[in-house]
Chains A and B, each alone.
Chain A
Amino acid sequence: MPNLKMGSTGGPIVTSVRILKAHVGVTAIDLWADTDHNGRPDQFLKRIKQPNQDENGQIALGSPAELDGQVVQWIWMPSQPPMATDGWEVEIDVTQNGQSLAGMPMRLAGDYPDGQRYGTFETWYQMVGG
C-alpha cells in the first residue's frame, strides 16, 4: 500500500497540491484513519484544506506523531482553459523541515473526461513514522 515515511523526530509535515500548466482549479486535502490496519483508509476524520482556500499554497498537516498511521488524501478539480486542448497536470509535495519526503514531489497528469472541460481526481498516501 502507498505510504510515505516521515522522520519521527523531525519537524511538522507540510504539503502542497498545485495544479500546473496554469490551469484553473480547486483542491482539497482530507485526512482518513486506517482503523483495520490493512494499509487502506476506511474512516474519514476531517478536511484539512477546503476547496478554493489557499490554492497552490503550503498546508500544515501536523506533527509526525499525530499523523503516524493516518492517511492523507489529495483531491483536485482542474478545468481546461478557454481555447486550450491539453490535459491537466498536478504536483503533490510533502515536506518535513523544508525537505521533500522520499518519492516526493510527485507529478501526475491526465486528460479531461471526454466532452468535459473539468474533472475531479484523488489519490492518497499513508503516513508512517521512520
Chain B
Amino acid sequence: MTAAPMYYARAGDHRPSSVSRGAGLLTALIASLALPIANGRAWAADALSPASEAAGPPGSDTGSNQPDSAGLSIGPGGSILPGGTSQPEGNSSSTISRVPVEDYQRRVKDLDDRLNELLSIPTTPAAFALGVSPETVAHPGTVRDVVAAVTTHFGTDGSLKPGLAVEGAPFRPLFARYDIDEWMKNATWPMQVLDSVRISFATSTDPAAPAGATAATLASAGLRVSLWDQRDYRHQPAFVKGVREALRACFPGEGSAKPGEGGRNFTSVPVTDSCERNLGDTLDKLAKTLTRGHRLELAGVVTIAQGQPATAVDWRASRLWLAYDWGFGAGTLGAAADAQFRNNTDGRRVTDLTVGLRALIGGESVKWSVGGLYGRVGQTPDQTDNVLRYGSALSLKVMSYGVVEAGIQGNHDFATHADGALLLVSLSAANGETVFSRAYSAGAGLP
C-alpha cells in the first residue's frame, strides 16, 4: 500500500453551474465579500485550493503543512500560523483593525473559486480523479467503440496501460429513436435518468511511485447521472422554438439545395457566409437561456492502482459528489457536497467532506447574497479539521446617486474555537467611481 495521494483535476473540468455563472456584478460582489478562511488549515490549502489543482497530478501530495496562497500554514497541533508565526490554539482575540481592501478582495476571490468548484460536478469524473485534461477525453459514438478503446489499453497479461480517457453514454442508443417532439411528450423520469448516465474510464501512471521503482498504473472508473434536470433543453419549449426559428432563418431557400448523389449518399449543403458567422452565436446565446429550473446531479469515481504482477491491485480512493441548483426569476440557489475516501500513509482510511451553499437574490436595485462552505478534512484517521466559512452581502443601488454595499463574512474553526470576521462598507458613485471603501477585520486568524 503506497502513500495515499490526493486526486485533483485541472481547472475547467466542471460542468458550468448556473450558480457560478451569469451572476455578473452580484458574483463579483459576493466574491469580494465572502470571507476566505483566514487560517489556512489543511482543508483550505489541500482539499479546495485551486493552486493545488493546478499542480494536479494524481499522487502529488500537496502537503497539509504547506503554506496556502495567502502564506498561511497549519502547525502540528492544528494551530493557525499566519505567515508562519505561531498562535496559541483557541486564540479568540477580538481586536478590530482596518485591512487593505485589495488584500481582502484577493482572499475573497479564492473562496468564490472554491465555491464555484464545489457547486459544479466534474464533467468526466474518471479524468478528474487522475488529473487528466477533459479536452483529451474521447467520446466514442457506439458501445463497440467504447469497448475497443478500453480493450486496447489492456496488456495480454491483464495489465493496464496508461493513456486511456474515454466517456460514454451507455443508455443513449435505447433512446436514439426519439425525436424532440416525442421526447418532450413521452419521456418518463426513469428514461430521463438513464439517458443522462455517463460512464468514464481513465488510466495514468502513478506519479507517487518512488524513484527507481516500477510505477503502478492508476485506473479510475466514474459515473455521472442527472437525477432531476428541468434545465435540460428538452424541458424548455421556448428554447426549442428559438432554435428552430434561428435555423429556419439560415435554411436553404426553395430549390437552392442542389441535389447531390441521392439515396443513402446524403450531401452537405453550404449555408450563406452571413449565416455561418451569426448562427453559431445565436445558438450559443440560446443555450445560455437554459438557466431556470431545478437540477440535481450525482457523480462518483473509484480509483485503483495496479502494480506488478497485474493481479496486485490496490484501492486508492473513492469520491462522491452531489450538487443541486435552482434558477428562478429573482436569482439562483446552489448547494453541493463532496465526500472523499482515501488511504492515509499508514494504509488507514481518511474521509474528507465538503459542503457548500450559495444564494444570489435580487434585481436591478437590491441584491443580496449569502454563501457558506463547511469542510471536514481528515488530516489523519485520528485527526480531523472542521472549518466553516461564510459570507453575506447586500447591495443597494440608488438611481442617479450610486451604489451602497455592505458585507460581512466570518469563519469558525471547530477545533480551536477560533472565530474571525471581515466587514466591508463601500460607496460608489453613479459612474462607478469608488467614493468610500473600508474593510475591517475582527477576531482570530485574520491577517
Q: Which residues of A contact B (CB under 8 A)?
A: 1-2, 18-26, 28, 30, 32, 40-41, 44, 46-47, 51-52, 55-56, 71, 73, 75, 77, 79, 81-83, 85-87, 89, 91, 106, 108, 110, 113, 116-126
Interface pair A120/B257, CB less than 8 Å apart: yes
With A30-B255, A119-B268, A120-B257 as known contacts, state yes or no: A20 contacts B139, CB within 8 Å: no
| Proximity bits, B105-141, A CB within 8 Å = 1, else 0 | 0000000000000000000000000000000000101
Extra contacts, 15 of them, besides A82-B290, A119-B268, A125-B262 (Cβ < 8 A), are A19-B179, A20-B176, A22-B175, A24-B240, A26-B248, A26-B251, A51-B251, A77-B247, A77-B251, A79-B243, A79-B247, A82-B233, A117-B283, A123-B264, A123-B267
Query: Which 9 A/B pairs are nearest by Cβ-Cβ distance?
Result: A44-B255, A2-B263, A82-B287, A120-B269, A123-B266, A52-B248, A22-B183, A51-B251, A2-B262
| Proximity bits, B157-193, A CB within 8 Å = 1, else 0 | 0000000000001001001111111110000000000
Q: Give B360 Cβ to nearest chain A Cβ, in Å.
A: 22
| Selected contact of A28 from candidates B251, B270, B271, CB within 8 Å | B251
B167: nearest chain-A partner, CB-CB: A85
Give the complex CA separation of A25 and B244 in angstroms: 6
A122: nearest chain-B partner, CB-CB: B257
> How extensive is the interface on chain B, given as a class?
35 or more
Give the complex CA separation of A10 and B166 in angstroms: 51
Interface pair B141/A86, CB less than 8 Å apart: yes
Q: Give B243 Cβ to nearest chain A Cβ, in Å.
A: 5
Counting chain B CB atoms within 10 Å of each CB, the highest count among A22, A44, A75, A108 belongs to: A22
Interface pair A22/B234, CB less than 8 Å apart: yes
| Proximity bits, B200-229, A CB within 8 Å = 1, else 0 | 000000000000000000000000000000
Interface pair A118/B247, CB less than 8 Å apart: yes
Q: Give A37 Cβ to nearest chain B Cβ, in Å.
A: 15
Interface pair B247/A51, CB less than 8 Å apart: yes
In B234-276, which residues have CB < 8 Å from any A CB?
A: 234, 239-240, 243-245, 247-248, 250-252, 254-255, 257, 259-271, 276
Give the complex CA separation of A25 and B181 in angstroms: 11
Does residue B15 face the partner (Cβ distance < 8 Å to A)? yes
Q: Give B52 Cβ to nearest chain A Cβ, in Å.
A: 27
List A contacts of B247 (CB < 8 A). 24-26, 51-52, 77, 79, 118
Q: Give B359 Cβ to nearest chain A Cβ, in Å.
A: 24
List B contacts of A26 (CB < 8 A). 244, 247-248, 251
With A1-B262, A44-B255, A86-B141 as known contacts, state yes or no: A121 contacts B268, CB within 8 Å: yes
| Selected contact of B245 from candidates A52, A73, A116, A118, CB within 8 Å | A52
Does residue B279 face the partner (Cβ distance < 8 Å to A)? yes
Give the complex CA separation of A75 and B256 in angstroms: 11
With A22-B175, A110-B266 as known contacts, state yes or no: A73 contacts B257, CB within 8 Å: yes
List B contacts of A75 (CB < 8 A). 251-252, 257, 269
Give the complex CA separation of A82 and B255 in angstroms: 31
Does residue B347 face the partner (Cβ distance < 8 Å to A)? no
| Selected contact of B259 from candidates A41, A55, A85, A89, CB within 8 Å | A41
With A1-B262, A40-B259, A77-B251 as known contacts, state yes or no: A21 contacts B268, CB within 8 Å: no
B240: nearest chain-A partner, CB-CB: A24
List B contacts of A110 (CB < 8 A). 266
Give the complex CA separation of A113 and B245 in angstroms: 20
Give the complex CA separation of A1 and B169 in angstroms: 38
